[in-house]
Amino acid sequence: MKQLEGSDHELEFWKGFIKTDRFIKGWLSEEKTPELHQETYDFIQSVNPKLTLDIGSGVVSILHGTVKEYIAVDPLGNEYAKIFDYSKGAWQRPFPFEGESLRDGWENDFDLVHMSNALDHSQDPVKVFNNMARACKTGGYVIIQGFANEGREMNYVGMHQWDLDLDGDVLTLNGKPLTHELLQPHKAWRKKEIFQGKDWIIWIGKKL
């Protein structure tokens, strides 16, 4: 996810959010983050991944307290380290990687590859999607979550250039199926986002 026009906005959001009770009590806990939908949490617990990759994690991964071991990556990882003290807890400091250019050698390494509210912020969602499939182990799972049709809702301003949605259990990008030859749709839900109440999609694919 290359830093777009909206990257400064993203950093400003986190500067404010990390000071809120919602973040301190929810995201920094060793328990499930309240903002993680129960269906997603239950699925992750059922597959019990040994190692998870969270792409576009933000300051602290929404999966902290849910998965046992994870690697977080975010293009703003270095900037987050300037506004948040990772030494005070067991939180994973995000590596400053973009989804379009994950670390060389990440091939079939992760039991679970996850992205929440970030795929539609990237410059090249298709490349990010393909890299998620590449990093996932055979038999593992890819989870993509996010607001439905956020580009349209935000009038395609700044980082909001893409519309993610579901067509049955198929993930779509700007109305077209987003597919990979080795990723088979497994489960999908359309929900209301827990705090803002906007349409939220959860898509899970299995690596063949």
Confidence band (pLDDT; 50, 70, 90) for 8? confident
Question: What pLDDT score was predicted for residue 6?
Answer: 62
Is 157 a residue whose pLDDT tops 70?
yes
- pTM above threshold 0.75: yes
Amino acid at 97: F
Integer angstrom CA distances of residue 115 from 1, 87, 124, 125: 11, 24, 14, 11
Instruction: List the domains of the chain with CATH numbers.
Output: 7-207 (3.40.50.150)
Q: What are phi and psi of 187, to 5 degrees?
A: -150, 155
Q: Look at the block and give the residue holding tokens 């250039």.
A: 161
Q: Is 47 exposed, middle or buried (0-12, 13-18, 19+ CB in 10 A)?
A: middle
Residues 175-197: tens digit of each pLDDT? 999 999 999 999 999 999 999 99
Higher confidence at residue 19 or residue 99?
19
**% of the chain exceeding 70 in pLDDT:** 97
Is 120 a residue whose pLDDT tops 50?
yes
Write down the mean pLDDT value for the chain.
93
